[in-house]
Amino acid sequence: MSITFVGDTVALTGRSLRHVTRSLDTVITTALMPIALLLLFVFVLGGAIRTGTDSYVAYLLPGILLITIATGVSYTAYRLFQDLQGGILERFRSMPIARSSVLWAHVLTSLVANVLSLVVVVAVGLLIGFRSSAGPLAWLAVLGILVLVTLALTWVAVIPGLTAKTVDGASAFSYPLILLPFISSAFVPTASMPGPVRWFAEHQPVTSIVNAIRDLLAVRPVGADLPVALLWCAGILVAAWAVATAVYRRRGA
């Protein structure tokens, strides 16, 4: 961590944040699909789903927040791909700057943009009846988990951003990420699923993350879900960071 790394990352983050603030529609479109799903499940399908809780909004919201992040990080892949195609990445790489600052700037920008989208989605949740008596510490813990998920998924997004051949390819990776919550405890309790599906649902990261957030917001004691969720996030973060950094280095000298 040198002084140049910090200064360069700040300068480059300022640049890509301008890309976000000058196309605020990306924040809105990121929130749009999750909000539509939220409304659809709460007002259309949710009535037929037995979750064992009184409020389906409260049950559903954590999963919707994950879908928001999965949608949002695809913009990182998109922006990185554009930088690569436009030649500006090449320009940065030929300059005397801390090389990793280029990627970190995109990751930090993704963090800011995703937090904005998450705030929009939570606001809609509040409008349609989501209530939580969780205290500031619990909310802070929820924010921490969401930040960790965003960091992990953004580093995943960096990889297609650097390797894709087309714009569509750069953002297509997010479709499986968006679908993953459907095969988890995000929409319906896993107990209702047949054997193998249930096994998968209970052993993939979304379920533990969703359960941990749900318990925190409902002021219930958080069981093993929290450490499992944190381990998943940290593991994905480190693995994706390592691959992304290697891909980035291999692209040049």
Partner 1 sequence: MSAAVAVRGLEKSFGDLHVLRGVDLEVAPGTVFALLGSNGAGKTTLVRILSTLLRMDGGEVAVAGFDVATRGADVRRSISLTGQFAAVDEVLTGRENLVLVARLRHLPDPGRVADELLARFSLTEAGRRRAGTYSGGMRRRLDIAMSLIGSPAVVVLDEPTTGLDPEARLEVWDAIRGLAAGGTTVLLTTQHLDEAEQLADRIAILHEGRIIVDGTLAELQALLPPTRVERVEQPPALEDVFLAVIGSRRAAGDPTGQEAR
Among 12, 70, 113, 240, binds partner 1 (CB under 8 A): 12
Among 44, 54, 94, 133, binds partner 1 (CB under 8 A): 94
Q: Concatenate the DSSP letters of all residues of 47-68 into one string.
A: GG---SSS-HHHHHHHHHHHHH
In angstroms, rounded to a whole number, what is the distance separating the alpha carbons of residues 153 and 237?
7
Closer to partner 1 at the Cβ: 94 or 133? 94
Among 11, 128, 219, 238, binds partner 1 (CB under 8 A): 11
For residue 45 the two structure tokens come to 């399908």
Closer to partner 1 at the Cβ: 55 or 100? 100
Binding mask 197-226 for partner 1 (x = CB under 8 A): ------------------------------
* 234 alpha carbon, distance to own chain's centre: 13
Binding mask 50-89 for partner 1 (x = CB under 8 A): ------------------------------------xxx-
The amino acid that residue 81 corresponds to is F
The amino acid that residue 16 corresponds to is S
Closer to partner 1 at the Cβ: 19 or 198? 19
Closer to partner 1 at the Cβ: 21 or 53? 21
Among 4, 53, 166, 192, binds partner 1 (CB under 8 A): 4
The stretch among 92-100, 150-158, 184-192, 228-236 that binds partner 1 (CB under 8 A) is 92-100
Among 47, 96, 194, 195, binds partner 1 (CB under 8 A): 96
Rg (CA), the chain: 19
- 153 CB-near residues (< 8 Å, 6+ apart): 69, 70, 73, 177, 236
* 134 alpha carbon, distance to own chain's centre: 22
Is residue 1 near partner 1 by the rule CB under 8 A? Answer: no
Closer to partner 1 at the Cβ: 3 or 137? 3
Q: Concatenate the DSSP letters of all residues of 192-244 into one string.
A: GS-HHHHHHHHHSHHHHHHHHHHHHHTT----THHHHHHHHHHHHHHHHHHHH
The amino acid that residue 189 corresponds to is P
Q: Are 163 and 77 in contact (CB under 8 A)?
A: no
The stretch among 8-16, 63-71, 177-185, 211-219 that binds partner 1 (CB under 8 A) is 8-16
Residue 252 DSSP label: -
* 9 alpha carbon, distance to own chain's centre: 21
Length of the chain: 253
Provide the binding-site residues for partner 1, judged by CB under 8 A: 4, 7-8, 11-12, 14-15, 18-19, 22-23, 86-88, 90-97, 252-253
